[in-house]
Every structure is written in structure tokens, then in C-alpha cells.
Amino acid sequence: MLRRLRVVALAALLLIAAFSTGAIFLFFLVYLGALVIGGSYVLTRIGLADLEAGYVLDRLHAHAGDALRATYTVRNTSRLPKPWLEAHNPTTLPVPIPGRALSLRPRGERSWSARVPLTRRGHYRVDPLVLRTGDPFGLFESSATVGSHSNVIVYPRVEELPAWRLPPAAIEGTHAHPVRTPHTTPHATSIRPYAPGDAYNRIHWKSSARHIELQVKEFDLEQTADVWIYLDLDAAVHTGTGDESTLEYGVRAAASIAAQALLDGRALGMTASGARRLVLPADRGPRQYQKVMHLLAAVEADGSQPIRDVLIDGVSRLRRGMTALAITPSLERDWIRPLVTLRGRGVTTLVVLPDAPAFARLAPDSVEAAEAQRGARAVYHALAEHDVLAYPVRPGKPLAVQLASSMQPRLQVIAR
């Protein structure tokens, strides 16, 4: 804009000088300037005419650590070349999608792909494709948008937990591991060829038609009862920054444990106590996995309700044989008693503890560090006193390693 004002001012001065003096050279400059400005304007106006463009994203849902690929195509249907074009997508992604400057010959076409890493979980927006052109002198520019916006949801990173095992349910008819049973249960897991003695009501007719021989269904005993995860989003207890924070490690632990529980055939429910409490009823299957990941992609440590109140309010949703898992970095001990009282109702209790002093990275000899360590030791001793199985989580280590064993041995060392 400033350059355009300078050009207009210079043209006005040149025009006044030409008519004031009548010099032929100044009139030549006036005609030349009019030709350049007019030609630049026309070139800009026709720069986006007869263009076809579009883009495609290879995915709208992904996990943190994956890559998003955008494929672009720009086609010139005119008989005139397009000497300069710029194409880019404005976006709220942590890493912007790179744009490209290109030129097109008459009836030409260009296609390319751009890949960006998805570094953080969250809900993001990719705006329509913007095409821009201008003249060589930068006097004019023209732009147009193509297509519609897209919403990209980045789920938290899910880590495999090969050594993680939730305790078996304390109710009749359940088992911690899949076991083949001659009885019909709600869990049909596979098929096999028919054998003499198999009941006719276990024949799977569609598979039999496909295999051209009789196939029967096999069933597993119900593995475990429901799991309910309580994710603490109280802003007062979280610390750390970015990926190295108690919030992100807590979210990753919730996502990984939820994925493992659903893979094991458990019904899973979740409560996240942020600015507004989000309650996801217990359910099984891939749809529940999508719901859990949608919820965890958007949560932030913006709540004001302590985990103690969340546990007390959620007692009515728990029944005998369920497993309650609390994920909290809180150094207060008042939330332990509501968790312990659940065992009297036949509910198994677990705790995942992101180590707040370790994430805060306080100076070892500071007063804050000493107070935080005292608070952490008090929580550890209270959990050991009530025999609550707990898993401490520290920064810089894989979750699979940290959740492979409980902190009971660590508590014995501290107690000595």
C-alpha cells in the first residue's frame, strides 16, 4: 500500500512537471509510466482468470507424531501463460502447511504434495486454498479462495503397554485373560470348522457360505468389568510446559490405558473435570475409542474443581466389580480417602501419578522444591498405608516402561 501511494505521488508530480514545462522528455516518461501502470493492472486482473485449483488432505483424524499430507493441483485453461502464482493454506496447525510459488504455461498444470508433522494434540482448522498473483513491480495484487475449510483433529499419542495389566474384576463370571468356553457368551471372537458335537445354534451361516463348509462361532468368557478413568484437569495442580508437562503426560496415559482396556474387551467410561465436566458413559468397541480420543484431543488444564470432589460426585456411576483409575498430579491427600472408600463397594482402585516436582524442574535447594518433595512423600505414604496400587510417571521416560510396575517397591525404599 505504501509503495502504491509513492508511485501515485511520483506520477502526479511528473504529470504536473510535464504540463508546466512542456518538456518532451517528461511527456515521454508520463506515457511510459501510464503504459507500465496500465499493463501491470491488466496483468494482475487476468492473472487468476481461467484457473482451476484444488487440494486434498490425506486424513482428518490422526495421532500426535503422525504427518499430514496435502496434495495440490493447479491447472491453467487459458491460452495465456501465468508467470507468477502463489498458493498456500492458512491454518491453525502448530506447523503451518508450506506454500508454493509457481508459473504455468498455456494449458499447463502443476501438482505437488506438502507434508507437515502433527506435533501437538488438539482441534485445528485448515482454511480454503488461497491463490494470489501480482505484477512484477508490486503495484497491484489479486487473490482468490478455492474450496472450503477442513477440521483436523489430532489425537494424543497412544503408546503400546505390553506389560500393563488392569486387575481382574472381582465378580463372578469374569476372567483376566481370554479363555475359550463351551458356553455362549456376548463375546464371539472367532470362527472354526464345524466338529461333531457342536450345537447347531453356534453355526455362522454367512461364514459357512463363504468357506463352502460349516463354520461355528467361538466365544470367550467375559474378561473384565467396566473401567472408569478420572482425569484431573484442575489448573492449580498441573505444572510443566508443552509436551513436558503433567497435563500432557496425564492425557497420554489416559489415552494409552483407554486403548489397551478397549483392546482387552473392557467397557470404558471417562470423566474429565475441566472448565466444564465431561462425562463419557461406559461402552465398548471402536466407536468408544473415537469418542475417548475426541475428548482427550481437546482437554486443557482449565478446571477449578479438585479431584476429590470429582471422585465423590462420580461414586453413583460405579458399581461392584468395576475398576476406578484416577490420573492426577495433586499433592493434596484429601482425594485418597474417597478413592479408598470405593473398595468397600467392591470397586478396584488404581492411581497414575505424574510427578509434579519432577515436571516443575525446581532448583534442588529451593524452598519450593523442598515443600513439593514433602507433599509428594506424604501422598506416597498415604497411598501405601491404604494399600492403593499406584504408578508414578516422570518426564523423559516412555510410559510403557513407567507403567510396567507399580510404585510399591519405591514406597518401601522411601519408608526405610
Q: Tell me the pLDDT tens digit for each residue of 176-230.
A: 444 444 555 555 557 888 888 788 788 888 888 988 889 888 765 454 568 999 9
Closest CA to 126 of 154, 86, 102: 154
Identify whether residues 347 and 307 lie together within a single domain.
yes
Identify whether residues 289 and 237 lie together within a single domain.
yes
Closest CA to 51 of 85, 9, 101: 85
Residue 408 lies in a domain: yes
Mean pLDDT of the chain: 83
Mean pLDDT of the region 375-387: 87
Which residues span the domain enclosing 276? 227-415
Most confident of 18-27, 49-58, 138-147, 378-387: 49-58
Residue 165 lies in a domain: no
Identify whether residues 321 and 264 lie together within a single domain.
yes
State whether residue 305 is helix, strand or coil.
Answer: coil
DSSP assigned state of 315: G
Identify whether residues 403 and 284 lie together within a single domain.
yes
Identify whether residues 275 and 313 lie together within a single domain.
yes
Identify whether residues 79 and 114 lie together within a single domain.
yes
User: Residue 111 is part of a domain; what is its CATH number?
Assistant: 2.60.40.10
- Tally the domains of the chain: 4
Is a pLDDT exceeding 60 seen at residue 414? no
Concatenated DSSP letters for 329-391? ----STTHHHHHHGGGGT-EEEEEEE-HHHHHT--TTSHHHHHHHHHHHHHHHHHHHTT-EEE
CA distance 250 to 238: 10
Closest CA to 159 of 295, 298, 257: 257
Name the strand (E) or helix (H) holding 245.
strand 244-245
Residue 105 lies in a domain: yes
Provide the residue count of the chain.
Answer: 416
* pTM of the complete model: 0.76
Identify whether residues 277 and 397 lie together within a single domain.
yes
The pLDDT score that the predictor gives to residue 189 is 58
Identify whether residues 348 and 325 lie together within a single domain.
yes
Residue 174 lies in a domain: no
pLDDT tens-digit readout, 328-351: 999 888 999 988 888 888 888 899
Identify whether residues 269 and 330 lie together within a single domain.
yes
DSSP assigned state of 206: H
State whether residue 300 is helix, strand or coil.
Answer: coil
Q: Could you tell me if 342 and 317 are in contact, meaning their C-beta atoms sit under 8 angstroms apart? A: no
State whether residue 414 is helix, strand or coil.
Answer: helix
pLDDT tens-digit readout, 91-117: 999 999 999 999 999 999 999 999 999
Q: Could you tell me if 303 and 231 are in contact, meaning their C-beta atoms sit under 8 angstroms apart? A: no
The pLDDT score that the predictor gives to residue 405 is 66
Identify whether residues 252 and 138 lie together within a single domain.
no
Q: Could you tell me if 270 and 295 are in contact, meaning their C-beta atoms sit under 8 angstroms apart? A: yes
Identify whether residues 188 and 314 lie together within a single domain.
no
Residue 171 lies in a domain: no
In this structure, the number of other CB atoms found within 10 A of the CB of residue 75 comes to 15
- What the block records as the C-alpha cell of 119 is 506435533
